[in-house]
């Protein structure tokens, strides 16, 4: 097991829900160039299914949507994580739901990075909110599931303004998810850009290993930025050697 994946492993955690920071669509929404290393396209990403029955059709829709990309495919496998903890599995993503409590977030996406390569990822869907009348809809579930899985592929948001017209993509923040439930052509184009080069080795389906989750705010490191109103904060925990944690927190 590599040093990177030992307990307390260096990681990058992207903690995300559906809110706003910027006000205009992004022409390039790669997440800092983070990507899965692979030696050929299209490549396969395994998605561990740790979800309750109510999430199964949503999960299936998200994987089908992202598999329409010409550079990658996604397939569900038996989950290797308990829903509450959602521990990562090296070389794939784990997708979980649970009543995580009144945390302020609807969904959390975490990716573990070495250099610029994604090594593993997790998605957490917070049933504390999805069991309320406001969010217990197919539209909200599709938007959050699709968006958080999109982050584990290396995508950022196209737009982070709640109140402007929808871009018809799940990578767009909105107060009305009706037309923002699936990727759009720009998302697929961006994936082609992100994965236009090949790597000399692969980080997908690599030997099993796990790293520590980064759940506790005390683990997030230094506060680097707070948006107007304080609804978004960015923390960074730097371990050197291109290994660090960046935590993006969206508060209710």
Number of structural domains (the chain) is 1
pLDDT in tens, 187-229: 999 999 999 999 999 999 865 444 455 676 677 667 765 654 5
156 pLDDT tier (thresholds 50, 70, 90): confident
pLDDT of residue 17: 40
pLDDT at 3: 46
Expressed as residue numbers, the domain containing 239 is 3-250
Mean pLDDT to the nearest integer, 45-56: 97
According to DSSP, the β-strands at 93-98 and 117-126 are: parallel
Q: Residue 29: pLDDT above 50?
A: yes
Cα–Cα distance for residue pair 55/107, rounded to 1 Å: 13
Task: Give the pLDDT mean for 226-252.
Answer: 61
CATH number at residue 172: 3.40.390.10
Look-up of token digits 């997708």: 95
Helix (H) or strand (E) holding 181: none
pLDDT score, position 6:
45
Model pTM score: 0.83
Alpha carbon of 252 to those of 15, 94, 166, 226: distances in Å? 13, 24, 21, 14
User: Number of C-alpha atoms within 13 angstroms, CB side, residue 126?
Assistant: 19
**Predicted pLDDT of residue 249:** 56
pLDDT cut 70: percent of the chain above it: 73
Q: Which residue has the tokens 């983070």?
A: 34
Do the strands 107-114 and 12-14 form a parallel or antiparallel pair, or are they unpaired? antiparallel
């Amino acid at each position: 097991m590599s040093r990177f994946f030992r307990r307390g492993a260096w990681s990058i955690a992207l903690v995300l829900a559906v809110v706003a920071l910027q006000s205009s669509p992004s022409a390039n929404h790669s997440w800092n160039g983070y990507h899965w290393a692979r030696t050929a396209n299209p490549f396969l990403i395994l998605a561990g299914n740790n979800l309750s029955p109510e999430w199964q059709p949503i999960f299936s829709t998200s994987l089908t949507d992202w598999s329409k990309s010409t550079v990658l495919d996604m397939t569900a496998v038996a989950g290797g994580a308990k829903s509450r903890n959602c521990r990562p599995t090296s070389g794939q993503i784990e997708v979980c739901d649970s009543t995580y409590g009144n945390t302020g977030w609807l969904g959390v996406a975490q990716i573990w990075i070495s250099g610029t390569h994604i090594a593993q990822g997790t998605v957490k869907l917070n049933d504390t909110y999805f069991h309320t009348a406001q969010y217990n809809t197919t539209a909200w579930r599709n938007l959050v599931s699709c968006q958080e899985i999109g982050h584990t592929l290396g995508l950022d948001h196209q737009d982070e303004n709640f109140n402007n017209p929808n871009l018809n993509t799940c990578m767009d923040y909105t107060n009305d998810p009706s037309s923002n439930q699936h990727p759009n052509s720009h998302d697929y184009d961006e994936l082609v850009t992100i994965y236009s080069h090949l790597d000399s080795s692969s980080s997908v389906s690599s030997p099993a290993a796990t790293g520590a989750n980064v759940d506790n705010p005390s683990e997030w490191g230094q506060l680097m930025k707070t948006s107007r109103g304080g609804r978004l904060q960015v923390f960074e925990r730097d371990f050197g050697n291109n290994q660090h944690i960046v935590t993006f927190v969206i508060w209710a």
